[in-house]
Structure 1
Amino acid sequence: MAYERLGRRPLDYRPVRYAGVRLSFRGPARDLRRGFVACLGGTETYGTFVERPWPQLVEGIAAPACLNLGVPNAGPDLWLAPGGPLPLVQGARAVVLQIPCGMNLTNPLYAVHPRRNDRFLRAAPPLERLYPEVDFTEFHFTRHMIQHLHMLSPDRFAQVREAVQAAWMGRMAQVLDRIAPPVILLWLSNHAPGAAPASGDIESDPALVSRDMLASITPRAQATVIAVISDAARAEGTRGMRFAPLEEEVAAALPGPRAHAEVAGALRPALAALVNEKGPAPRAGPF
């Protein structure tokens, strides 16, 4: 019964900061002078509402200390920005990089906040011409805007999709080129790459990221791990999660403890092979 009531007690993420970086991260702090694996990602890597997220679950089993550099809704703009986390990963034995959403980045059609990448700032003239009937000042979040544009005109939205996806591939290539240690790409989703319907790829993260987009960046990584959350894990809902009473709806949309355990299990073979220097880590599952 106590396990079922965890949702009534908010979680203390023990935020920490590291020298030279403007962001705060989930604690506890890690000693960067010792061997560690760096984990870059968004909300799922940060482990919102989960006491032991996947970076903590692989620690000590498939990897030494894991530096959790997850930031809610992070994308390549945050990673590449001055004061971002990339300097922290350069001394890692390996880096796990969660594949981010395709829409949370500045591109030729719109701009996002440099640190809160899900925040929409403004539309560029080409997007205003493409959707002259839209008042873009009404939008604060990228997903809300993207959903609205797709609803208004799937045909016109094809141009938005093309511009956003091209920007994502270029920006992710920049991120990977700036990381010196070997990288494991982590596809963390409710579906396999390319398995979401054309409209569903807006709702299901990593939104707007196609199989071809993932394939375009895999040559820059040491390995790719495909972690698809099982139906059983999703059916658990908020069981074992910790959140304030008004956060239950948000928590229900995020992976819970069982899902994080599945992600850790998918990562362990590739991560252990890489950290233990047994040769190239295998790809965990086709895509």
Structure 2
Amino acid sequence: MGGRHVVFLGGSATHGGPLEEPFPALIEAELGEACVNFGIANASAEAFLLDPVVARACREALVTVVEVMGAANLSNRLYTVHPRRNDRFLRASGALRAIYPDVDFAEICFTRHLLMALHEADVERFDVVREELRIAWAARMRALLERVGPRVVLLWPRGEGEGPLGADPVLVTEAMVEALRPMVGAVVEVPAPGSDAGHRDVAAALADPIRACLAEEGLRASA
């Protein structure tokens, strides 16, 4: 990363799973700029906030693309997640135990299992959990965007789904994403990529916004 580069931060969509060429690799080939993929499966903003290598790479990057990640996999006032494997539930706080004294947390290992168990136990009490997660998400996303710098494209991969948690990214609403728009250069909304074709579509959608940021950065450098 000693030269020109574009950084990608995100969860499963950015990581790409088993694909040989997730969309950061496709964009590298398209734009001819080195692309550094820091995507982590099931990550939230929390995975990147305290990483000094990521912070430095973003500050030095031409552009940083940040995926809109879900609200379930981050620590908050009700429960704590693993600092790197953010989908792993570690422990419930005293506040959550007070709200849900009837729930046994000992056998719960993952955040999605936790949230489904809480919703099943009591729908009305789950509203408190949902609101807390959304507050925590907004704070962490703002902190992450402030940390990575001003040259940011926000990628919003929208999945399909029903049920108490809705579609991915979990518990994130359009209003929550729109509130971040003033902090970024562009917001790119795409269907969540689940295949090679999906990643090609994401790369195509991101190419022009990234080019626009590169052009703006070139103008600043030559001024």
Structure 1 residue ranges without an equivalent (≥5): 1-31, 230-253, 280-287
1:148 Cα deviation from its structure 2 partner? 1.4
- 1:95-110, aligned counterparts within 5 Å? 95-110=64-79
1:63 Cα deviation from its structure 2 partner? 5.6
Q: 2:213 aligns with which of 274, 277, 282?
A: 274
**What is the distance in 2 between the residues matched to 1:185 and 1:45?**
12
Give the structure-2-normalised TM-score.
Answer: 0.91
1:123 Cα deviation from its structure 2 partner? 0.5
Q: 1:260 aligns with which of 194, 199, 203?
A: 199
1:185 Cα deviation from its structure 2 partner? 0.4
Q: Where does residue 209 of structure 1 map in the other structure?
A: 172
- Residues 240-261 of structure 1 show CA distances to partners (whole Å, capped at 9, x for unaligned) of xxxxxxxxxxxxxx71101111
1:203 Cα deviation from its structure 2 partner? 4.9
Q: Where does residue 93 of structure 1 map in the other structure?
A: 62
**What is the distance in 1 between the residues matched to 2:53 and 2:46?**
9
SS of equivalent to 1:60 = helix
- Residues 122-146 of structure 1 show CA distances to partners (whole Å, capped at 9, x for unaligned) of 0011111111110111111001111
**What is the distance in 2 between the residues matched to 1:255 and 1:218?**
25
Q: 1:220 aligns with which of 183, 192, 198?
A: 183
1:181 Cα deviation from its structure 2 partner? 4.5
Contact 1:102 1:208 in 2 (8 A): yes
RMSD, aligned CA: 2.0
**What is the distance in 2 between the residues matched to 1:87 and 1:137?**
38
Q: Where does residue 119 of structure 2 map in the other structure?
A: 150
Q: 2:140 aligns with which of 171, 175, 186?
A: 171
- One-letter code of the match for 2:84? R
Contact 1:37 1:92 in 2 (8 A): yes
Q: Where does residue 56 of structure 1 map in the other structure?
A: 25
Give the structure-1-normalised TM-score.
Answer: 0.72
1:268 Cα deviation from its structure 2 partner? 1.2
1:161 aligns with 2:161: no
Give aligned pairs, total: 219
1:189 Cα deviation from its structure 2 partner? 2.1
Structure 2 residue ranges without an equivalent (≥5): 219-223
- Residues 184-210 of structure 1 show CA distances to partners (whole Å, capped at 9, x for unaligned) of 00001225xxxx66x35x253110111
- Residues 75-134 of structure 1 show CA distances to partners (whole Å, capped at 9, x for unaligned) of 121111245622221110000000111011010100011111111010011111111110
**What is the distance in 1 between the residues matched to 2:69 and 2:147?**
17
Q: Against the structure 1 CA distance between its residues 227 and 56, is the aligned structure 2 distance closer, same or farther, given a 3 Å change threshold?
A: same
**What is the distance in 1 between the residues matched to 2:129 and 2:42?**
20
Contact 1:37 1:95 in 2 (8 A): yes
Q: 2:96 aligns with which of 100, 103, 127?
A: 127
Contact 1:93 1:181 in 2 (8 A): no
**What is the distance in 2 between the residues matched to 1:68 and 1:261?**
16
- One-letter code of the match for 2:202? V
- Between Structure 1 and Structure 2, the one with more helix by share is 2
- One-letter code of the match for 1:81? L
- 1:31-70, aligned counterparts within 5 Å? 32-62=1-31, 64-70=33-39
SS of equivalent to 2:157 = strand
**What is the distance in 2 between the residues matched to 1:39 and 1:278?**
17
Q: Percent identity?
A: 38
**What is the distance in 2 between the residues matched to 1:86 and 1:143?**
28
